[in-house]
Amino acid sequence: MSAAPPIRHAALGDRIAGAALALLALGAWWHSHTFVTGFMQPVGPGVFPRLVSVPLGVLSLYLIARPGINQRWPEKTALVRQLGMLLLLGCYAIVLEPLGFVPATLLATVLLMRLFGARWRQALPYGALLGFALYVLFEFALGIPLPDTPGWSG
């Protein structure tokens, strides 16, 4: 009588993460079709989520099919950080419309950097720089409208 082989927690964790990311990719792809494209606008706001969801879906399927490259289960601190990051990204999606892109991105990036050990002096300027740079890139260079901050637009 042979005993069952031990469960490889790392492979199980990779498959769980791959399944969650595959669901996220499908949800992003599906939700991106609800964004309204402006009149005579060649690239709509739904392009970016679709561009992100395709490689995310492919990589998540690879993670499900070939788990266990790392072969170690993350420690409790790393799991708490990962859960905090997921919670923070969910909150970012919720506050993006009411706060506007720049303040929501600033808040999210600063908190993400703090979550992973950055100091306030490091997180604040880089969060502000990232928020403004992404706003300029999408709004002016790519012509993709982002949620405005209430009271900033005329």
Q: Which of 34 and 129 is assigned the larger pLDDT? A: 129
Which residue type is seen at 17? A
Burial classification of residue 25, based on how many CB atoms lie within 10 Å of its CB (0-12 exposed, 13-18 middle, 19 or more buried): buried
Residue 1's pLDDT band (boundaries 50, 70, 90)?
A: very low
Does the structure show a pLDDT above 90 at 120? yes
pLDDT category at 138 given cuts 50, 70, 90 is confident
State the chain's mean pLDDT as an integer.
Answer: 85
In one-letter notation, the amino acid at residue 47 is V
- C-alpha distances (whole Å) from 78 to each of 46, 72, 85, 116, 117 are 32, 12, 10, 9, 12
Query: Where residue 91 falls among pLDDT bands split at 50, 70, 90?
Result: very high
Residue 149 has pLDDT above 70, yes or no: yes
- Condensed to tens digits (0 to 9), the pLDDT of residues 64-78 reads 998 876 667 778 888
pLDDT at position 36 is: 76
148 by DSSP, 3-state: which? coil
DSSP string for residues in 32-83: HTTSPPPTT-SS-TTHHHHHHHHHHHHHHHHHHHS--SS-SPPPHHHHHHHH
* Tokens coding 60: 């998540």
- pTM exceeds cut of 0.85: no
A 10 A CB-CB count for 78 gives 10
